[in-house]
Chains A and B, each alone.
Chain A
């Protein structure tokens, strides 16, 4: 048992303290525990804590905490709910330490418990801190949004309200998702979850280019820098947003294409077209016009990108359905057919007696028919590429045009990931005969995937002729991480879980081409070659 003096002190502290043996038997219960839970000391000593105050759904959690403290972990600030004497749940914050006797032998564990409702900053202190925050937010010249860990907006600055065209009351208590375009919601949620789980976030501390949604539903490009901070036990996000003026983007796009020539590299982790590089000018009629045109072209490309994405889904589904159908058919047919053929062969051996000539002839026919059906199934198996349902519409395509088109489609995604898109197209290489939509989809898939894997860095595409073949390569600096996980660079393209690769491979094959992956100075390089002049194939 712990030394008496200590126990006397413990009995007086304002935290509830409960000590239990390894068998969960309560051997210490202080006055605050009595106040918190309602049971007196003499009612609980010798009883099991789990049977008394812990609801059934929390038993596993309790056992886990006790295991963890025994393994040397520090357990503190665990939010949970236990039951009081009158059967009501009480929201608690638990800390757990090992209970030792005066010779420092471990004799069990001690819970130090606070009532969760009482530990929140209360009274004047809270009001004062809220007022200070409010005053600070309203006088700020930056566009700030503060949200809690569940993504509920707590406070916004006037500038943020102006950008988003909401009032303060409109935004307070709303989920962050109201100001995020629908298509980002999934990745936003994943990011927040990862952030809470691991304490790490991909975009924390960086500037990223994104889109925001105004009150009227219209979208606008913005740059976002996100920070996370803890206040007591709570996690908060603060986002500083800045509207990107379209005119600024235009200018900086030319900056983007220029720095290749000059060799000037953009700063890492900084948005290439930030406003401080190019101070904004008053909007003229011309720039307003160009803004409207840019706005609509943004939307046009986004729609096109979404269309291509749904084309991916269509191909994947067609492939999956067909391949599942064929797999089932082939399995269901193979076994009985194998049996028919096998028994014919057994009969033909005449181990169980001779056969009449006619009988032998019939069995031969059954055998042959079975065999021909098996051959047919084998053919289906080979054709399980799923590509048969997709028809190519061949035509002459300008290589530069289709690559530029892909760049436009991916511009928004590249902004989001702070990735630089570059190209190197051989001047002599003008035309290719291919299906425009699908060739576009191949580039879109490969480059889009390369961007997805990147945060900063670049995605580079090259195109050239080699005799009668066209050779296209996509190199992504962020891709370097994939093969590390799967050892072999050459099998990257066959990873079923990267549909962009699987679909691109099929589309390249349908064009009579080949696709392969290789290592290049630590990066992954995906190359596909296809005939420049493709004969129309009857598939």
Chain B
């Protein structure tokens, strides 16, 4: 089973993303901030992390860097999930170390299609 951690502070998005992941047959857990994300990653082995960028406290880019700098987690793919939808944002987030980038509001077909390749 593919285990996914969703880091997202908006309850609306969280509910939707968890629902879609559940529909896809993934096992999904959600946390709303960076500290919980890191704590959760220590306790559970995830196959994929979906990371919002604008978060209270540490932002998604920082959390991603912390995780990728840790030898234990550096192979977990992390996808930026963000309301930024500017031209060139995708390149920017990939350059920051993210494995992929999905802009919100999510397009259902695109979202499921892109996540499919992380299925274990």
A-chain residues with CB within 8 Å of residue B56 when the two chains form the complex: none
In the complex, are the beta carbons of B108 and A338 less than 8 A apart? no
A-chain residues with CB within 8 Å of residue B106 when the two chains form the complex: 338, 342
In the complex, are the beta carbons of B10 and A335 less than 8 A apart? yes
Interface size on A, residues (CB 8 A): 16
A351 within 8 A of B: yes
In the complex, are the beta carbons of B104 and A334 less than 8 A apart? yes
A-chain residues with CB within 8 Å of residue B23 when the two chains form the complex: 346, 349, 351
In the complex, are the beta carbons of B19 and A334 less than 8 A apart? no
In the complex, are the beta carbons of B108 and A346 less than 8 A apart? yes
A335 and B12 in contact (CB under 8 A), knowing A341-B105, A342-B105, A346-B108?
A: yes
Cα A334 to Cα B8 in complex, Å, equals 14
| B71 → chain A closest CB, angstroms | 33
In the complex, are the beta carbons of B19 and A338 less than 8 A apart? no
Cα A349 to Cα B22 in complex, Å, equals 14
In the complex, are the beta carbons of B108 and A345 less than 8 A apart? yes
* Closest residue of B by beta carbon distance from A331: B83
* Closest residue of B by beta carbon distance from A343: B16
A336 within 8 A of B: yes
A44 within 8 A of B: no
Q: Which residues of chain B from 1 to 55 have a CB within 8 Å of any chain A CB?
A: 10, 12-13, 15-16, 19-20, 23, 54
B-chain residues with CB within 8 Å of residue A336 when the two chains form the complex: 12
Instruction: From A331, A338, A349, A374, give the contact of B16 (CB < 8 A).
Output: A338
Instruction: From A339, A345, A349, A374, give the contact of B12 (CB < 8 A).
Output: A339
In the complex, are the beta carbons of A342 and B10 less than 8 A apart? no
A-chain residues with CB within 8 Å of residue B104 when the two chains form the complex: 334-335, 338
A337 within 8 A of B: yes
In the complex, are the beta carbons of A337 and B19 less than 8 A apart? no
Interface string of B86-120 (1 = CB under 8 A from A): 00000000000000000011101000000000000
In the complex, are the beta carbons of A334 and B16 less than 8 A apart? no
A-chain residues with CB within 8 Å of residue B13 when the two chains form the complex: 335, 338-339
* Closest residue of A by beta carbon distance from B106: A342
* Closest residue of B by beta carbon distance from A352: B23
Best-surrounded residue of A331, A339, A351 (most CB of chain B within 10 A): A339
Instruction: From A331, A341, A346, A374, give the contact of B19 (CB < 8 A).
Output: A346
In the complex, are the beta carbons of A349 and B105 less than 8 A apart? no
In the complex, are the beta carbons of B108 and A339 less than 8 A apart? no
Instruction: From B15, B20, B85, B105, give the contact of A337 (CB < 8 A).
Output: B105
Interface size on B, residues (CB 8 A): 15
| B41 → chain A closest CB, angstroms | 24
A-chain residues with CB within 8 Å of residue B10 when the two chains form the complex: 335
A-chain residues with CB within 8 Å of residue B105 when the two chains form the complex: 334, 337-338, 341-342, 374
Cα A351 to Cα B104 in complex, Å, equals 22
A342 and B108 in contact (CB under 8 A), knowing A335-B12, A336-B12?
A: yes
Best-surrounded residue of A335, A336, A349 (most CB of chain B within 10 A): A335
* Closest residue of B by beta carbon distance from A340: B12
A-chain residues with CB within 8 Å of residue B12 when the two chains form the complex: 335-336, 338-339
In the complex, are the beta carbons of B19 and A343 less than 8 A apart? yes
Cα A339 to Cα B16 in complex, Å, equals 6
Cα A331 to Cα B54 in complex, Å, equals 10
Cα A349 to Cα B19 in complex, Å, equals 13
* Closest residue of A by beta carbon distance from B13: A335
Cα A512 to Cα B15 in complex, Å, equals 45
Cα A378 to Cα B19 in complex, Å, equals 26
Q: Which residues of chain A from 320 to 345 have a CB within 8 Å of any chain B CB?
A: 331, 334-339, 341-343, 345
| B21 → chain A closest CB, angstroms | 11
Cα A259 to Cα B48 in complex, Å, equals 71
* Closest residue of A by beta carbon distance from B107: A345
Cα A337 to Cα B12 in complex, Å, equals 8
Best-surrounded residue of B12, B19, B54 (most CB of chain A within 10 A): B12
Q: List 8 A-B contacts (CB under 8 A).
A: A331-B54, A331-B83, A334-B83, A336-B12, A339-B15, A339-B16, A341-B105, A343-B16
Beyond A338-B16, A339-B15, list 16 extra A-B contacts (CB 8 Å). Answer: A331-B83, A335-B10, A335-B12, A335-B83, A336-B12, A338-B104, A338-B106, A339-B12, A341-B105, A342-B20, A343-B16, A343-B19, A346-B20, A346-B23, A346-B108, A349-B23
